Chains A and B, each alone.
Chain A
């Protein structure tokens, strides 16, 4: 089995899986009918992307596991998503702030992944990039609106950005698998995306009349499977059916 390629794919797919689950939690709970549908649309887009990645990963694993097994039956430490995407939906500003901080990265990542020498991955990236361009437009728009809105909305989105900021640096960390994949022309060198990420995010925050957080202390660990306390609860929701009724299908 191509261990590095498998882990590299999980690193990408788990971000979309966990963020998709977070956005899906809003189904029926969004602040208005329109934003509720928008958030669950984003969730469905992400789950669709996840399927393509996990189908490919299952093929590489070649040990009889299916896309569902990979998505649903791993333990907490085996998920490779960044800490940012597992943070809870504290309020609407938090939800959209998290989405925005991830989308800017996600879009830049996918445009690089399109150039991958692995044809399956470049095809998936090519398909996902339109969806993610819309996510980025939607979440940037909301950060701008909330920041440049009322005093209350400005304060809420500022608090969200301040709390989430500590999770942004991890987006640009590399695992052993990431480095191996960059060397083979398959992966994306995320360290090269960092500068333009902070420039783009900073520009939008400025437009939104928000302060760019100055904290230089960052959390890390998600990519190595060391998560915040929130992931366990998320997984118990996500995995409930498969854990309670093993091999259940419908």
Chain B
């Protein structure tokens, strides 16, 4: 399933947040949206999700999510927010089951199949042992995986992840991104993430979109987008960019002298 955005303008409270955004993610592709704080990355994800009104074209698998009923939309695209609401007393299993909401009749209850899907997702993410544990008792890494589990339980082919590595140590960052990549390969998921860490973004995504001041400053393969000059210009940071073993760029911060 493809994601396509053309000429998207989004205003929040009368303030322009996104202007003239274009985005193309092929089916099975992974695009990372990078950019400095306040560039509009999260807003772009919410616009693709259909939860932010705006002018311009947004199409997920050829359909405009803004025109869909919430349930249809939630069967098309799943979303893991940067700061998820995690009711402390809710168990991991029940939280994962929330991902089945678009399939459960409005006033009905979940079916055996919904429970089986939630159970399978927990198995795949090595969370089965946590099924009965309340969310309030999870570590940061476990929480990220649980939020991912809920999104996967929606069984959509497009996955939007807002900063999936927030507040994770370097090991857990890799673990979560490897997991997303493995799921993408296994299920043919189309993935759009925002990512703070530019090196990680360059390592995992096939394509980067650099947002700055609400506009697309650069887009393309990681090596084209992450250059010493673009990072200096848009992040105000001094970095050395060197190709890693696989040719993808690795950024090292340099202390200004």
Q: Do A and B truly interact? A: no
Q: Which residues of B contact A (CB under 8 A)?
A: none
Q: Which residues of A contact B (CB under 8 A)?
A: none
